[in-house]
């Protein structure tokens, strides 16, 4: 008996002329841990919803084929009936949260299964412990950080105890060590006999999976052992090739851990290692020196009205003109709070924020939300981008030019009459950026701009920001994506428990693995390998250029 079996499944959402699934064939064994990858729009989320019966019962459309879960045909069943056998953590995890406390959120499912009070309480404790939210029982979900909300959504499904667990990008807003914890929980569930389907863009972070599944254009195009898919195949499906696999392939060494691979590279280089180091030091580019201070944070403290804990504790920071800076830190460290205060969207409890020596005002510092859907509301793309400059008094031809320039900058020139919510997640993210650029901000702050994007969309977003920065514009990036920070930012500030504990050049910060680990972070694999060779690389390209030459 298969845990999950889809035979000839096609599905087209109502109002769409393009099928999300096309004669899809997929089977997963009981107890199998599979990782599902593919570019945005490949049909991954629709596949997850089909397993749960969400399509076509809740999200209407035309469906053909057969779906079985643990041998049961689910046609005609409602999702609450399927939930006894399978549980789903949504890609949009915030849509899954509705209770007034963390404890009540996790209790909702088990209570509706008719379990005893003692059993419900046991499941609450175990589920919150599994995702690192012990002590959060009385917190209101809306006061949690994005990553903490994502952990809560996972805990609410774990508490149901389904034999089949479907996780649609469950770690997108979680810090690196937190992602490792979630993957550890998944591995434990698999060891207890659970069947797990995990949708993940960073497939290299879950090497313990039994199988890797790749989707493209509504079909499963490849399924095999983890580690057997080559870099070209992964990239063609919008998946970033894992750095250990790519580095091993290009250098002709075994795919080992950082210590082992560094030793193997040193053995291959032999007596040439010192010469390679010398050439690398001569060619390494640390970026342009920033200009005068444009944005200054002075002794800022902040506490949310509903929380006794301080989110920020005496934060001071200077951002120079033309800088590309990243703010790093674990979930709940205060990154988004700091970003909103820097943009003038929140007023600090004490301290000040100055833009060119004057108190910052909303509109002068652009802010792109962590979730782009929180700032999109207009009926068309053009109206969305025009809203900001129009409210700043821009009219006529000048308004038309501002909108067109912003849309062209993010690659959405032909989209002006489209409904923003008909766009893909990556397109909505770029639209949110365009709506801010049209206001001509002096500083652009982006909160997790690559979250939920496939590899191609991440690169497109970050290359745009690099080009914008090279024109002398100032960029501040809030991110958990360490490869993104390493490759694009020239300076990093590390925030931990509401305080800045380190601030300096990216290469210097990323060379301090012990410091990063305190903040639940770890440098990219190539940086770890390079540091052991005396060359802390900031990207795979930099590593290959140094080592292959």
CB neighbour class for 313 (10 Å; exposed up to 12, middle 13-18, buried from 19): middle
**Rounded to whole angstroms, how far apart are CA atoms 96 and 149?**
10
- The pair of structure tokens assigned to 72 is 């049961």
**Rounded to whole angstroms, how far apart are CA atoms 282 and 289?**
18
Phi-psi region of 167 (alpha: psi -120 to 50; beta: other; left: phi over 0): beta
CB burial of 239-267 (b: ≥16 within 10 Å; e: otherwise) equals bbbbbbbbbbeebebebbebeebbbbbee
pLDDT mean for each 10 residues of the chain (549 residues): 96 89 97 94 93 94 96 93 92 87 96 94 94 92 84 92 92 81 84 92 87 96 89 89 89 91 92 93 81 96 84 96 96 92 95 95 87 90 95 91 90 89 82 92 92 85 91 94 96 96 96 92 95 96 90
Work out the angle between the directed axes of helices 176-191 and 146-158 (0-180°, nearest 10): 10
Q: Tell me the Cα Rg of the chain.
A: 24
**Rounded to whole angstroms, how far apart are CA atoms 397 and 378?**
21
SS3 state at 94? helix
- The pLDDT value recorded for residue 41 is 83
CB burial of 101-122 (b: ≥16 within 10 Å; e: otherwise) equals ebbbbbbebbeeeebeeeebee
- The pLDDT value recorded for residue 260 is 95
Phi, psi of 381 (to 5 degrees): -60, -45
Walk me through the domains of the chain, giving residue ranges and CATH numbers.
2-241 (3.40.50.300), 242-283+525-549 (no CATH), 321-339+361-524 (3.40.50.300)
- Give the Cβ contact number of residue 193 at 10 Å: 9
CB neighbour class for 391 (10 Å; exposed up to 12, middle 13-18, buried from 19): exposed
Chain centre distance of CA 375: 18
Q: Which of 33, 65, 447, 52 is nearest to 199 (CA)?
A: 33
Q: Which of 416, 426, 333 is nearest to 373 (CA)?
A: 426
> Could you tell me if 435 and 406 are in contact, meaning their C-beta atoms sit under 8 angstroms apart?
yes
CA angle 234, 237, 239 (to 5 degrees): 55
**Rounded to whole angstroms, how far apart are CA atoms 294 and 202?**
35
**Rounded to whole angstroms, how far apart are CA atoms 57 and 379?**
27
pTM of this structure: 0.85
- The pLDDT value recorded for residue 307 is 73
- The pLDDT value recorded for residue 271 is 87
Q: How far are the Cα atoms of 72, 261, 525, 539, 541 from residue 252, in angstroms, in the given order?
A: 47, 11, 17, 18, 16
**Rounded to whole angstroms, how far apart are CA atoms 493 and 315?**
11
How is residue 369 annotated by DSSP? -
**Rounded to whole angstroms, how far apart are CA atoms 299 and 166?**
44
Q: Which residues does 36 contact at the CB level (< 8 Å), separation at least 6?
A: 44, 47, 197, 198, 199, 200, 213, 214, 215
Place of tokens 């698999």: 190
- The pair of structure tokens assigned to 71 is 């041998």
**Rounded to whole angstroms, how far apart are CA atoms 51 and 322?**
48
> Could you tell me if 63 and 9 are in contact, meaning their C-beta atoms sit under 8 angstroms apart?
yes
């Amino acid at each position: 008996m298969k845990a999950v079996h889809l035979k000839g499944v096609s599905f087209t959402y109502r109002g769409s002329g393009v099928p999300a699934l096309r004669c899809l064939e997929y089977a997963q064994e009981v107890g199998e841990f599979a990782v599902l990858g593919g570019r945005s729009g490949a049909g991954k989320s629709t596949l997850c919803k089909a397993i749960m019966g969400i399509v076509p019962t809740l999200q209407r459309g035309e469906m053909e084929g057969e779906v079985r879960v643990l041998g049961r045909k689910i046609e005609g069943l409602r999702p609450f009936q399927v939930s006894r056998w399978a549980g789903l953590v949504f890609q949009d995890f915030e849509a899954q949260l509705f209770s007034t406390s963390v404890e009540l959120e996790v209790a909702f499912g088990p209570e509706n299964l008719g379990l005893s009070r003692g059993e419900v309480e046991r499941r609450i404790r175990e589920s919150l412990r599994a995702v690192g939210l012990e002590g959060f029982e009385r917190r209101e979900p809306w006061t949690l950080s994005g990553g903490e909300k994502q952990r809560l959504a996972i805990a609410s499904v774990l508490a149901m105890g389904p034999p089949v667990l479907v996780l649609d990008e469950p770690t997108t807003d979680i810090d690196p060590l937190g992602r490792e914890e979630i993957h550890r929980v998944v591995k434990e569930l698999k060891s207890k006999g659970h069947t797990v389907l995990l949708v993940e863009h960073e497939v290299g972070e879950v090497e313990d999976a039994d199988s890797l599944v790749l989707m493209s254009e509504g079909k499963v195009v490849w399924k095999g052992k983890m580690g057997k898919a080559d870099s070209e195949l992964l990239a063609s499906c919008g998946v970033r090739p894992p750095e250990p696999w790519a580095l091993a392939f290009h250098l002709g060494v075994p795919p080992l851990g950082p210590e082992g691979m560094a030793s193997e590279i040193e053995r291959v280089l032999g007596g040439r290692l010192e010469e390679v180091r010398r050439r690398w030091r001569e060619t390494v580019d640390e970026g342009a020196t920033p200009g005068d201070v444009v944005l200054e944070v002075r002794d800022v403290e902040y506490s949310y009205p509903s929380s006794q804990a301080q989110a920020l504790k005496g934060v001071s920071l200077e951002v120079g003109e033309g800088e590309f800076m990243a703010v790093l830190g674990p979930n709940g460290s205060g990154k988004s709070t700091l970003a909103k205060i820097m943009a003038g969207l929140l007023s600090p409890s004490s301290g000040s924020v100055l833009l060119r020596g004057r108190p910052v005002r909303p509109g002068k510092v652009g802010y792109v939300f962590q979730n782009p859907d929180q700032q999109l509301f207009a009926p068309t793309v053009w109206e969305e981008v025009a809203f900001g400059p129009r409210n700043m008094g821009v009219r006529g031809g000048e308004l038309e030019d501002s909108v067109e320039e912003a849309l062209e900058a993010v690659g959405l020139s032909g989209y002006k009459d489209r409904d923003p919510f008909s766009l893909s997640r990556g397109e909505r993210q770029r639209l949110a950026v365009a709506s801010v650029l049209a206001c001509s901000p002096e500083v652009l702050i982006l909160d997790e701009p690559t979250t939920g994007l496939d590899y191609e969309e991440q690169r497109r977003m970050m290359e745009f920001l690099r080009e914008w920065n090279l024109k002398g514009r100032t960029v501040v990036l809030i991110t958990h994506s360490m490869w993104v920070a390493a490759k694009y930012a020239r300076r990093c500030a590390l925030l931990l428990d509401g305080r800045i504990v380190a601030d300096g050049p990216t290469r210097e910060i990323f060379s301090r693995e012990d410091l990063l680990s305190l903040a639940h972070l770890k440098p990219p694999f190539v940086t770890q390998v390079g540091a052991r060779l005396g060359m802390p690389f900031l990207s795979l390209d930099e590593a290959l250029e140094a080592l292959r030459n």
